[in-house]
Structure 1
């Protein structure tokens, strides 16, 4: 391979990203530049340099529009070698992408399952050696590939993986679908932009020298004509004098110098795309074997085609575009038709649809589009699926016998398109289309009554998606209509699923008078009609209903039954929902060991199913972090949090980032401010999931502000969280009410007594409602503890708190919530001291200090140290002999949570000297953080 000319800065930038990735810091590079400027040559240089010690996976997009999903990923996996092939056998969802992949069970995974499988594959490969994934020509990428790129950019965190994507910057017009993706990616700190610029004059001369060399005058002329474009310069060098200046004319002039056979073969190849199989090219050229062989050799020797695997690729996409654009209209249609005929039974349906549509063969394009949609669902590409289905629906009236060709009627095909649209995240659009379908069916055709089975299916899906958008009241109305359309006898799968969706909607609304009767009917109908998915879904909903209303054990038993049924059905969404509910039930009741055992098992199953980033997959991971945080296993919680992005760009990412805040706030981590800033940028007030996220982030922002001493800000954050939280989310409100009461108490004389009365009344009201037996609400151990905290904070604000009040809080959190118990013991020690109960105060203080030290809860450790200093408890801590007298003084202040500037002011030294003392202390104690040093002071 010839030397790379003039790309030192670009190479250095790429190698930097690879070096960081090899050290465990994943990164993405977007390489941009005009067509022909040298992007592929640059990436080839990086690939060749990495082959010795890296696993290299490389794939290329093709100019087939949105037709073939995950094309570059499939090519990368196919060329990954034995290490990848072996791991694909354990991930059949990825194996389906390959041309010879298995059909699987036909059910089709959701897109998140495939994304999770890709992430798991890359992480597993990276355990052995760093991984370089190259995706070229992203300006032609399908929507699913674009989504995958965005997903990897956010969730590849500490794996030894580097991703390089290339695209033509000159192709990115204002409405190009890649344009917003690039803008979004470049906002992330792990994404690097590398622009491949045109050659300078000296670099063009150097490049031409690698091709054989020319005079300085000729090099200058070529540089002027090529404007520094490497590909164009090479073509001008090959062509010689007196040629047109336009690139297309130049390329076509090169083709015209070929023999007739070679021209015929290259025209055929241009219709196939950037790549073409050798056997298909020979077949389509319609030349005798020896003539075709000579033509191929001529094309390779003239550097138009290059051997690639079992076929050929154009040396540059511009060559293919020029040849394809020069085809006569009739020639274009004839060749596409020939390709379509050749692909029947041997190619991907999406390719067949593409060529058939270009050949104006509408019946074949219609049938292939339907099949392409189904294949896209099967391989987890709902974005492309609804594009194919929509194309088929647009052709419905223009082809003979569409129902027979599609194997379904028009409404069911439209339902498949709607389902694909919802799976791709376009739930609002899916709702709009279902409302249109509903109105169409209600109106009937030629005065005929609507088909009740079809109408029930449409209404059931509409109710389901309305519930997903939290439009619960509308969902109940539509779901009720869906079960009234069909008679109860005979039982049908459609009615069973409609009943299951009805009870799912009702449980989240204010009306559930007929809930139990309808749920029993749903289970019976599901069993009788074979719709076991409806039965399993209903069992989960019944569990939610019964766990608080009648019997905790009955609710947990129902979750277990639903889980087993979902596993038997092989429906991961059903059994993950059931498993999540089962683990959450244990957690809500304070059975933390059982919750952790259940959740860890469920996380493993979600990972094996490739659903770590699906809706319930994310909920399960958040619960896993919350359980570890609660029981005090903060090392595990930190590991889980590392996989949660800080710079949230979607509400899903904001959700997991909010859960990571529990740990970050309690540890006083600097990342808290950054997490909160990125959540604020999402404009959550105008998002369907905004209220929950505002509650989560607002409540934790309030705690963070309180630890920072800004109690007015803490109160503002708490108020915003409470305003956003739906009134039915009763137990969570108690926690935020308690935080607000704490902020009011800390404000002292500036507090609002009426506000305190209101917060306490709301907390008590929420508790009374949860104790009244309403479904979905349960005042478990944590809820009772937060209510006790609210009562104690209210009394503290009035100057009337007592040891009994704070003992009750500490005892309530003693079910296993180590951090909150220690925080309560801090307040207990303080009030005990004020009541001259010194011995008990010291006991509570020491237990709290030990817990805060073990956990690394820096803010709590700071206030405990300050309290211990005032009470004289710290005098029991001996001076550390390894430190000087001055260093012991610095350590004492450091343990109080003081900054270097505060330490300097207290000891009348400079901040720089204080910093030197702190560094010396960390080194002498053999610790790496200020919190660990403070822990040594409290427990030498």
Structure 2
């Protein structure tokens, strides 16, 4: 890329100087990457072209790649294929050496990944996406030796998901040599849901990545652009400047398109571009229109194969297009439209028949392998040409290629396109069942299991099952079994009622009892389904059989998966240490084999064991490693990778690292599916509720509540947080209704009889806490609140009993919530003064709750339990112990910014045991303030005595003293004076 044929750059001196500084041409580079943004025509390419020329003059190696608007023809890592293709053309020996050191680069080289690869060339083996990432990073490092490397990727708004992931990886991995990456994209193309939009925001937070926005040129600079393009009278130049509105491309196009003496100007830029095209001779117009069907760029070889004219005519036409600044030569072997808008204008000007004919010509050239190309390109052209047979085959091949380099999103796109094409009238026959299974697998890997289930169930409903007699053909049987396996795999990732167990059992019934890879996979699927159903003996039997057969037929991933099931069963059999050892062995083997899928699962399961036993910091370490392993291969939302990322956030919340929660729940930069966004929003909601951020909490609840019926984690996390969110602002009735809705939803989702599931204990404990607060606000006794509280506590006890009976006892967190529920019920009884517990029982229950949450390591709930223990200790006459627990709770609440908990702690005197300050004779003692608060709530002396564990006679003495000190005639007047003087604090238990 050079700028030798271009005039001087106008109006961008400051931006060019800044860019040269950032990439190190005028000193040490302060940035490892620069993202240049600007509206179409704002001069990004011109600016970068000048930068490249200066870098080359300084002796720096420059590598340039472009993203192309392929539409449905998604080709992973396209700009890097272009970069290494140029290197192959200019320095094949150097690329050969790089490929020898980093074999994964072979997947990116045009001659190795395209349709035009030599027939005798060995097909490159599929590689994990992480291998490609590491290979590109290492190659750029080596290319930077000795004078540095400037890598440029243009038109990032058209980038495929894999390219975006790779760039993010390069930005977060440091280079030891002088490597700088410059990106450009059209900011006006980034609509709200554009996948690049959140990525740019994410990259901007990475140290060493700098954003540069190109704004409009000044009127003076724009006038220079106009006159440089074609001298104009001042009046005309001023008119062009006004119409261009700071956009140099528009200004230049307006100037170039205006014929001398012609005062009429086109109404918009599209019209201007069409005027430019209309000035070409017929041959040039035909060539330009043909080029537009290829996209922004087209090689001379491919264009020549399509237009069907002799070389002399083609060259004359291209010369006319280049002279008119419609096309520009690039690297001497290809042509590009001078601006993307020119491509669009030329393509839109084609008649439907012309488009179809031209796309058919492109498809024919690519299909015949007359020129280099890719399956994705062939599929795009074949679809537009309505050549269904070619389009289906090419789409499947493109999907396979995307899968081989770790691009599940792109693979799913291609497979789904192939399925859609097979459903059109006149489509060729194809293996719809097998293709459906492949598409479902890709969708699950891309974090879209619900879509996968819909796809497979629709196909199962459309095709009758294979008959038992006579035996069906092997191909039909295999296709049907693959569908059942895909359904069973997707069912493991969702909470909606899907009979994954039935699918696995049906597959096992159909597959012949022979030592085949398919039977090994079916046995493994049945082991998974049995484990999920709680049939642990069956799960162990099938897992052992699957592992043995997988070893025999050479399926290492099935071997690892079956071993993980057996390792997890050790935990179910109450031997977590043995489970950790077994899963550690699987993880070690996966590392040795380079199997990132198995490694992600093993790390996730290890983290889950630590979570269940209450070792939250260790659990978070493994969850983070599992999530990072999945992300490195582009599988952010794949099974176990997603769960690991989510539970890493949850453990951060529980251990009290709420700043990490804020960071890690912000997954918008990764553009996940909406349900996954709701999962992380549910954890963010817990933080908002804990901090008393009601506005943020309401917003997050509105985002998560619509997804309750699809995902249990979203329902459990957001409903639990919402109980506090509503209750803390006094809407306890709303909290009760919300809890009831959540119980109904989860009972249906999990098919739980009588609403018995582990989260019931959490809901019961949280809602009981809010009932006690409501009792304080209401004053007096409340049999209704107590009856509701007893029902909630009973539900928690049934949950605990059912878990023990089924052989799956609650983990450390579930047990802590059960203990807390018992303590909360006693507190409610004490608060409403109906059959209040003995002081020792009340204190003992809350001491157990504190111990349970402390053992779990749940910072917030441990602090909240301590605050309530402090209250009952104070009432039981142990002020020093109360002060110690209250101080501990307040320290945690202040660190977390938990305002509702701080408000609750405000009712607990923290100064017990300290030297008392001298107060006026009329000052109330702490005990008198407590009595006064209960008097103001309308409690009788007997009720006050039962709540404060003192005799009715003692209460009477306190009341008499209070009336005397306040100068009140009676209890009502005392309450009024107390309110007026601000003597009452929020004194709920």
Select which of 821, 824, 836 maps to 1:790.
821
Q: Offset at 1:493?
A: 1.9
Residue matched to 2:232 = 214
Instruction: Say if 2:296 and 2:343, in contact at 8 Å, map to a contact too.
Output: yes
Select which of 865, 868, 875 maps to 1:827.
868
Instruction: Say if 2:599 and 2:626, in contact at 8 Å, map to a contact too.
Output: no
- Give runs of aligned pairs for residues 435-834 of structure 1, distance below 5 A: 435=457, 437-438=459-460, 440=463, 442=465, 449-450=472-473, 451-472=476-497, 474-487=499-512, 489-509=513-533, 514-568=538-592, 570-592=594-616, 594-632=618-656, 640=664, 650-666=674-690, 668=691, 670=693, 673-681=695-703, 683-685=705-707, 687-689=709-711, 691-707=712-728, 711-726=732-747, 730-748=757-775, 749-750=781-782, 752-774=785-807, 777-799=808-830, 800=837, 802-817=842-857, 818-834=859-875
Q: Offset at 1:757?
A: 0.9
Gaps of 5+ in 1: 12-21, 32-37, 167-193, 404-408, 879-940
Q: Given the alignment of the two structures, is residue 314 of structure 1 paired with residue 337 of structure 2, yes or no?
A: yes
Residue matched to 2:40 = 39
Q: Offset at 1:836?
A: 1.3
Query: CA 1:516–1:104 in structure 2 vs 1: closer, same or farther (change >3 Å)?
Result: same
CA displacement, residues 542-591 of structure 1 (integer Å, 9 cap, x when unaligned)? 44444134533343344334434544554433332221121111121123
Query: CA 1:747–1:90 in structure 2 vs 1: closer, same or farther (change >3 Å)?
Result: farther
Instruction: Say if 1:133 and 1:164, in contact at 8 Å, map to a contact too.
Output: no
TM-score by length of 1: 0.71
Select which of 343, 346, 356 maps to 2:372.
346
Q: Offset at 1:840?
A: 2.5
CA displacement, residues 449-473 of structure 1 (integer Å, 9 cap, x when unaligned)? 3543332222222232244343456
Distance across 2 between alignment mates of 1:109 and 1:781: 37
Distance across 2 between alignment mates of 1:249 and 1:332: 23
Distance across 1 between alignment mates of 2:596 and 2:503: 27
Secondary structure class of the residue paired with 1:442: coil
Q: Offset at 1:483?
A: 0.5
Distance across 1 between alignment mates of 2:669 and 2:244: 44
Select which of 399, 411, 414 maps to 1:373.
399
Q: Offset at 1:398?
A: 6.3
Query: CA 1:723–1:858 in structure 2 vs 1: closer, same or farther (change >3 Å)?
Result: same
Residue matched to 2:73 = 67
- Give runs of aligned pairs for residues 249-264 of structure 1, distance below 5 A: none
Instruction: Say if 1:256 and 1:263, in contact at 8 Å, map to a contact too.
Output: yes
Q: Offset at 1:153?
A: 6.1
Q: Given the alignment of the two structures, is residue 843 of structure 1 paired with residue 864 of structure 2, yes or no?
A: no
- Give runs of aligned pairs for residues 191-202 of structure 1, distance below 5 A: none
Q: Offset at 1:695?
A: 1.9
Distance across 2 between alignment mates of 1:648 and 1:65: 20
Secondary structure class of the residue paired with 2:72: coil
Q: Given the alignment of the two structures, is residue 868 of structure 1 paired with residue 909 of structure 2, yes or no?
A: yes
Q: Offset at 1:794?
A: 0.3
Q: Offset at 1:619?
A: 2.2
Secondary structure class of the residue paired with 2:71: coil
Secondary structure class of the residue paired with 2:196: helix
Task: Name which one, 1 or 2, has greater alpha-carbon Rg.
Answer: 2
TM-score by length of 2: 0.68
Higher mean displacement: 763-772 or 341-350 = 341-350
Distance across 2 between alignment mates of 1:593 and 1:555: 18
Q: Given the alignment of the two structures, is residue 159 of structure 1 paired with residue 159 of structure 2, yes or no?
A: no
Residue matched to 1:300 = 322
Residue matched to 1:415 = 437
Secondary structure class of the residue paired with 2:258: helix
Query: CA 1:230–1:97 in structure 2 vs 1: closer, same or farther (change >3 Å)?
Result: farther
Instruction: Say if 2:520 and 2:550, in contact at 8 Å, map to a contact too.
Output: yes
- Give runs of aligned pairs for residues 25-174 of structure 1, distance below 5 A: 39-41=40-42, 43-44=44-45, 62=68, 64-69=70-75, 96=107, 99=110, 105-106=125-126, 116-124=165-173, 133-136=183-186, 148-149=195-196, 152=199, 158-159=205-206
Distance across 2 between alignment mates of 1:92 and 1:358: 35
CA displacement, residues 161-214 of structure 1 (integer Å, 9 cap, x when unaligned)? 578999xxxxxxxxxxxxxxxxxxxxxxxxxxx9x99x99x9998874453343
Q: Offset at 1:759?
A: 0.7
Query: CA 1:747–1:428 in structure 2 vs 1: closer, same or farther (change >3 Å)?
Result: closer
Query: CA 1:806–1:496 in structure 2 vs 1: closer, same or farther (change >3 Å)?
Result: same
Higher mean displacement: 540-549 or 645-654 = 645-654
Distance across 1 between alignment mates of 2:360 and 2:729: 74
Residue matched to 1:390 = 419
Query: CA 1:40–1:74 in structure 2 vs 1: closer, same or farther (change >3 Å)?
Result: farther
Instruction: Say if 1:482 and 1:498, in contact at 8 Å, map to a contact too.
Output: yes
Distance across 2 between alignment mates of 1:646 and 1:742: 38
Instruction: Say if 1:583 and 1:599, in contact at 8 Å, map to a contact too.
Output: yes
Q: Given the alignment of the two structures, is residue 276 of structure 1 paired with residue 302 of structure 2, yes or no?
A: no
Instruction: Say if 1:719 and 1:740, in contact at 8 Å, map to a contact too.
Output: no
Instruction: Say if 1:235 and 1:251, in contact at 8 Å, map to a contact too.
Output: no
- Give runs of aligned pairs for residues 17-32 of structure 1, distance below 5 A: none
Q: Offset at 1:477?
A: 1.8
Q: Offset at 1:350?
A: 1.8
Secondary structure class of the residue paired with 1:276: strand
Higher mean displacement: 277-286 or 716-725 = 277-286
Distance across 1 between alignment mates of 2:101 and 2:702: 40
Select which of 233, 237, 249 maps to 2:254.
233
Secondary structure class of the residue paired with 2:465: helix
Instruction: Say if 1:369 and 1:392, in contact at 8 Å, map to a contact too.
Output: no
CA displacement, residues 369-393 of structure 1 (integer Å, 9 cap, x when unaligned)? 3322212333411243224533674
Note the aligned Cα RMSD (angstroms). 5.5
Query: CA 1:506–1:163 in structure 2 vs 1: closer, same or farther (change >3 Å)?
Result: farther
Instruction: Say if 1:592 and 1:631, in contact at 8 Å, map to a contact too.
Output: yes
Higher mean displacement: 123-132 or 57-66 = 123-132
Distance across 1 between alignment mates of 2:393 and 2:261: 50
Secondary structure class of the residue paired with 1:347: coil
Instruction: Say if 1:618 and 1:656, in contact at 8 Å, map to a contact too.
Output: no
Distance across 2 between alignment mates of 1:57 and 1:662: 47
CA displacement, residues 825-859 of structure 1 (integer Å, 9 cap, x when unaligned)? 22222212111122332333344344445555554
Distance across 2 between alignment mates of 1:867 and 1:135: 58
Distance across 1 between alignment mates of 2:553 and 2:909: 69
Distance across 2 between alignment mates of 1:225 and 1:645: 36
Secondary structure class of the residue paired with 1:779: coil
Instruction: Say if 2:290 and 2:358, in contact at 8 Å, map to a contact too.
Output: no
CA displacement, residues 731-753 of structure 1 (integer Å, 9 cap, x when unaligned)? 33212211111111221145622
Query: CA 1:673–1:695 in structure 2 vs 1: closer, same or farther (change >3 Å)?
Result: farther
Q: Offset at 1:808?
A: 1.6
Q: Offset at 1:250?
A: 7.7
CA displacement, residues 878-932 of structure 1 (integer Å, 9 cap, x when unaligned)? 9xxxxxxxxxxxxxxxxxxxxxxxxxxxxxxxxxxxxxxxxxxxxxxxxxxxxxx
Instruction: Say if 2:376 and 2:395, in contact at 8 Å, map to a contact too.
Output: yes
Distance across 2 between alignment mates of 1:226 and 1:601: 52
Residue matched to 1:892 = none
Instruction: Say if 1:648 and 1:657, in contact at 8 Å, map to a contact too.
Output: no
